[in-house]
Structure 1
Amino acid sequence: MNNKRKIQLNWSREAVVYQIYPRSFKDSNNDGIGDLQGIIDKLDYLNDGTEKSLGIGAIWLSPIYKSPMVDFGYDISDYMDIDSQYGSLETFNKLIKEAHKRNIKVIMDFVANHTSSKHPWFMDSRSSKTNPKRDWYIWKDPKPDGSPPNNWLSVFGGSAWTLDKTTNQYYLHSFLPEQPDLNWRNNEVKKAMEKVLEFWIHRGADGFRSDAAYHLIKDDQLRDDPPNPTYKGVKNSYKGLIHTYSQGRPEALETMNTFCSILGLHKDKYMVSEAYLDIPEMSKLYKACSNNLHAPFNFNLISLPWDAKLIRKHIDDFEASLSKIDWPNYVLGNHDKPRVVTRVGEKRARLLAMLLFTLRGMPFVYYGDEIGMKNEDIPLGKQKDLVGNRLTANRDGERTPMQWDESVHAGFSIVKPWLPVGEKYKDVNVKKELSDPISMLRLYRQLIHYRANSYVLLRGSYRSLDLGDNHVFAYLRELGDEKVLVILNFSKDEESVSFPYQKANVIYTTNREKENKIVNLKKITLAPYQGYVLEVKG
C-alpha cells in the first residue's frame, strides 16, 4: 500500500475537524483573550500543506458573535457581527481567505435555540404583550399560585422559567435566564434565522455546528415532563426529569431539514448538530435531512466506560444503524467535558487517538488534546464559568489557554491570560512535542497524515474481529484487496492475540515499538494500553 498518495478529500466526510475555543487559542493583541488574528497566525500549525503540520482539514469555531459573554458567546446579542474581543467582520474575512488558502474549511457555531437577553429581539419582546416580537419567544402566564407554567427544568438546574416583572409573565430558557429560548413555531423567527445562515455562507463559512439542536422545538401544550424514576440526586436537577416534552419533539427534525435545504442551495456545505443521544435517537437525526448534508455528533466515546467490549459493541451497533449514505463521526472531547487525558490518563488517551483516526468516519479533535493537555483546577476566586457555578462541575478546566511553548503564559499571550495556563505547560507544549519522537503530538500528526493518504481508512469498510479476549479490540478496514488491521489493548496487563493472517507490516504503534517492521500475526503480544496499526500482507 502506498502511504504517500495524495487524495482529494471530500471534506464533509473525510476531513479531520479541529475545534477551536477562540478566547483560549492565541492572543494577538495582548489583552489576555484569544482572537481571530491569533487563529490566523497559527493556521500553519494546523495545516501548511506539509507533514510537519497537524494536517487539519476543517476548523470549528466556538461562537465569535457579539455577546455579553455570560456564557462566553453562547448568549448572542447580534448574529451578524463579530464580538470586538475577537476582531471584526474584516478579520473574519481574512480568516476565511487564509484558511481556504491552506485547504482548511471553516465551521461556525450556529446557536439557534436561544439568544442573549440583551439581544434587541428579546428587549422588544419583553417590552409589552402587544409588541410585534412578543411571540418570537415563549411567554406564559403564571399558575394561579404564581408558580411557573410547568415543571420544565433548565439544563443548568432549577426552573426553566423566569418571571419578567415588566409584563408579569414567565419566559422560557432551556439554559441560563440570560439565554431566552426562541419560539421556533413562529415563522418570522424561522425566516430571521435562515437569513443568519445565508449571511455567513455568503461570507465564506463552509459549515455549521447546530448548538442544542434537540431543544429547538417544545411541546405546544407545555405538558409537564415526567419524573425520572431512577434518579435519586439533588432536587431540581435536570437529570430528575425525563425530557419528553421540553426537547426532542418530532418537529425539530423538520427544522433541521430546513437548515439543510438552505445549505443545499450552495456548493459543498455541511452541518453537524449537538445532541447527546443514544443510537436510536441519533438515527432519527440522521434521517432529518433529505439531502444528506447533516449528521449528529456521536459523543458516546466521551461517556462510555473504559471497556473494550462495550466500546466495540457501541461502534458495531452504530455502524449497523447507519444507512448507506449516512456517515459516522466520533468525538473525544469538547469545551463542556473534561479533557480526554484527564478522564482516562495519558497512555489510554494515546489508544483512543489511534481508535479515533482509524475508524470509519469524520474525527473531531478538541484544541490541545493533540498535545495531551489536562484539565486544570481553577481556584474558586479565579473561575470564570458562571454556568459551572450552578453545576457540580466547573468547565473552566477544559478551556485553559493553548500551550504553545515554554515561555511565559505558554506562548498564548505576553500578558496575564483570561484563565491561568496549565501548571505543566513547560513539559506539555507544541514546541517541545514537535521535536519529541514519542510525544502525543507526534502520534496525532502521524495518524492524521497516514489517514489522509490511505484510501482504505478514508473509504474502506469496517469489520470488528472476534478474538476471544474481552480486553483487546481489533478491527479490519478493507477496500478491495487492501487491508488495515487495528489492534487496541484496553488492559493494564500484557495481552497476546492471534489472527488468521501470516504477517503484517507495522505502520504505527502508540509507543513507536516495532514500527516499519514485519510481524507474525499468528501470535502478537501487546504491552499494556498499546495499539497497533498494521497493513496486512496476506
Structure 2
Amino acid sequence: MSSKPASPRDAAWWRNAVIYEIAAISFQDSNGDGQGDLPGLLQRVDYLQWLGVGAVWLGPICKSPMQDFGYDIADFSAVDPRFGTMEDFERVVRALHEAGIKLILDFVPNHTSDQHAWFQESRTSRDNPKADWYIWAEAGANGGPPNNWLSRFGGSGWEWCEARRQFYYHSFLTSQPDLNWRNEQVRQAMADTMRFWLDRGVDGFRVDASAVLIKDELLRDNPADPEADGNTPPPQKYTPVFTDDRPETMRCIEYIRNVLDEYDERLLCGEVQGKTDRIGHFYGNSKPRLHLPLNFALLDTEWNAVALQATIDAYFNAIPDGAWPDFVIGGHDKHRVASKLGQAQSRILAMLLMTIRGTPFLFAGDEIGSEQVKIPPEKIQDPFEKLVKGFDLNRDPERAPLRWDDTARGGFTTGEPWLPLSEDRSRNIEAQRRDARSLLNLYRELIALRRRERCLSHGEYRPRRAHNDIFWFARTLDETEILVALNLCREPRLLEWQGSGSRLMSTYLDREAGKVEGPTHLRPNEGVIVKVSR
C-alpha cells in the first residue's frame, strides 16, 4: 500500500469517515410510543456532529410487519409509519448533509416480507406475471421439502403453498421468502429500488446477506457438517455449500455495484460470510463488487497481543492490492464488545479502531461502552431466541434502546420502551459528555485526531512484533511516523522502543501533549499515540 500523494480513489470520502450504525427503533423516540423514529433521529443530529462521525448507516426503515427487526420488507419504496413519513426521511437527509454527515441505508435484496405485493401475486398461481420472482420448487419424492436446506431460524428452509402446490424457499423466517435473482425482472426491480433512494440523496448502501443471493440451481442437498455436535445450533448442522457464497452471487453483487456507479461518490459495503481468507473476493478484481466488505475480525479474535497481531495480519493479507480495509466493532446482530472486553479494555479497542489503517464502523452505544442488556423472557422480541432456544442467539441484548441520561426511560422515550434499557443508569451519553475523561470523550478526541493527522487515515500500516502484552504498530505517510502502543493487560508494561517524539494522546486522557522518549512505561490498560521525531 503506497504512501504516495492520494489519487482520486484515495480521496474517496469513506476512507476518511467514521461510520456509525443506527437502528432507528432504538435511537430516539419522538412521540412516546416507545419506539425510535426519524423525527427522533433528527433531534440528535447535533450529537452526531459533536461526536464527529462522517456517516450514519441507518438500519431498515421501509414498510414492514417488523417480524425480523425490519429486515422483512413489505414495500421497498415506502417509509414504515412507525418511523415517520417520507418527508421526515428527507428532512433527516438534509440535516445530516448540512452537518457534513453522509447517509448509508440498509439494502435488503435477498428476500421480502410475505406481505409484499410481489409475493402476494407470485403465490397465487404458477402462470401469473411474477410466478418466477421467488424460489419455487416441487415437493420431494416423499411429498416433503425438495431438499435438506435449512432456515437460519430453525427447521426446513422450505414452506408449502397450497395455492401453487409448491414449496417456496426462505433463508430466514417463513415470512421472508427469498427472491429469485436469476430472474432479470427481479434484478431490474431491485435496481429501481436502489435508484429510488439514491435519487433522494442517499450516499450508499450496506447490502444485507450479500453472500446468499443465489442458491444452487440443481437444489443439491447440503452435506452434514462433520464438526457439528450437541452444542451446534440446529440450523448449522449442515455445511451451506449450495445455499451460501455461491460463485453466481458475485455476479449479483457486480450488478448492484453497476447500478450504484451510475451515481457519483456512493459507497457500497456489505455483510459477507466465511473466514477472513474468503473476504478478498467480495472486493472484486476486473469487475468491482463491494467497496467495503464488512470485517468483524476484531470482534471474533481472542483479546491478547499475540492473537490480535495474527488476526490483523491475516486480514491485511487477505484483501487485494489497492483494496481499502475496514474494521467493525459492533452491530445490530453482534454481542456488545464491552461485555466481552470490559470497560478498561474498551478504551484500548477505541484507540485501535481509530488508528489502524481502514474505515472504522461502530454501533450506537459502543462509544459509551454499552453492554448486553438483560431481557426478561416475557420481553423477548428476537425470532432467533424464540425459535432456536438454548444457544445464546438472542440479539435483543445489543438492540436495547440507547440511554441518553440517567432517568428511568433514559431520555429515549416518554412511554414504555420497546425493549428494556440498561439497568446501569450511570452509563449514559449526558453523563459521559460532562466527564472529560470518559470513553465517549475518548472517542471524540480520537476521531478528531484521526481527522487532523492524515497519517492516521491514509498512512501505511507498519506492524511491530507483539511482546510483553503490548500490541503496537506504526503508521507512516511521507515523512510522518506515528506510533501506537496498546497495553492489553491489567498490569504496567514497558514498551521497549528507541527514539523520541511527541505524545499525542493516552487512553487515560490525563496527560498533556508533550515529549516522550523510549523505552516508555505503559500503565495498566493504557494505550498511547506518539508522533515520532525524525
In the superposition, the TM-score normalised over structure 1's length comes to: 0.94
Code of the aligned partner of 1:483: E
1:272 deviates by 0.3
Code of the aligned partner of 1:430: I
1:217 to 214, 217, 231: 214
1:73 deviates by 0.6
Q: Does 1:420 align with 2:420?
A: yes
1:508 deviates by 1.5
Q: Does 1:314 align with 2:311?
A: yes
Q: Deviations over 1:462-494 (max 9, x none)?
A: 011025x15211000001111110001112332
Give the alignment's Cα RMSD to 1 decimal: 1.6
Q: Matched residue of 2:167: which SS?
A: strand
Q: Matched residue of 1:408: which SS?
A: coil
Paired with 2:28 and 2:526, the residues of 1 have a C-alpha distance of: 33
Q: 163-172 vs 457-466, which deviates more?
A: 163-172
Q: 17-26 vs 276-285, which deviates more?
A: 276-285
Paired with 2:335 and 2:115, the residues of 1 have a C-alpha distance of: 30
1:475 to 473, 498, 509: 473
Paired with 1:58 and 1:203, the residues of 2 have a C-alpha distance of: 16
What residue is the counterpart of 1:536 in the other structure? 532
The answer as to whether partners of 2:153 and 2:383 remain within 8 angstroms in 1 is no
Q: Deviations over 1:398-443 (max 9, x none)?
A: 1111111123311011111111111112x11111111102211011
1:238 deviates by 2.6
Aligned ranges 1:491-502 → 2 under 5 Å: 491-501=489-499
Q: Does 1:278 align with 2:280?
A: no
What residue is the counterpart of 1:5 in the other structure? none
What residue is the counterpart of 2:488 in the other structure? 490
Q: Matched residue of 1:438: which SS?
A: coil
Q: Deviations over 1:373-421 (max 9, x none)?
A: 1111110011122233223321111111111112331101111111111
1:105 deviates by 0.5
1:500 deviates by 2.8
1:278 deviates by 2.0
The answer as to whether partners of 1:37 and 1:87 remain within 8 angstroms in 2 is yes
What residue is the counterpart of 2:150 in the other structure? 153
Q: Matched residue of 2:15: which SS?
A: helix
1:165 deviates by 2.4
* Structure 1 residue ranges without an equivalent (≥5): 1-7, 48-52
Q: Does 1:525 align with 2:521?
A: yes
What residue is the counterpart of 1:185 in the other structure? 182
Paired with 1:289 and 1:91, the residues of 2 have a C-alpha distance of: 40
What residue is the counterpart of 2:16 in the other structure? 14
The answer as to whether partners of 1:253 and 1:288 remain within 8 angstroms in 2 is no
Q: 217-226 vs 279-288, which deviates more?
A: 279-288
The answer as to whether partners of 1:210 and 1:272 remain within 8 angstroms in 2 is yes
Code of the aligned partner of 2:41: I
Paired with 1:291 and 1:216, the residues of 2 have a C-alpha distance of: 17
Q: Matched residue of 1:280: which SS?
A: helix
Paired with 1:289 and 1:282, the residues of 2 have a C-alpha distance of: 16
Code of the aligned partner of 2:476: E
Aligned ranges 1:272-351 → 2 under 5 Å: 272-287=269-284, 290-291=287-288, 294-351=291-348
* Structure 2 residue ranges without an equivalent (≥5): 1-9
Q: 259-268 vs 14-23, which deviates more?
A: 259-268
What residue is the counterpart of 1:40 in the other structure? 42
Report sequence identity in percent: 40
Runs of 4+ in structure 1 displaced over 4 angstroms? none
What residue is the counterpart of 2:31 in the other structure? 29
The answer as to whether partners of 1:304 and 1:310 remain within 8 angstroms in 2 is yes
2:256 to 255, 259, 267: 259
Count of residue pairs the alignment pairs up: 522
Code of the aligned partner of 1:153: L
1:515 deviates by 3.9
Aligned ranges 1:381-396 → 2 under 5 Å: 381-391=378-388, 392=391, 393-396=393-396
Paired with 2:214 and 2:12, the residues of 1 have a C-alpha distance of: 32
What residue is the counterpart of 2:6 in the other structure? none
What residue is the counterpart of 1:3 in the other structure? none
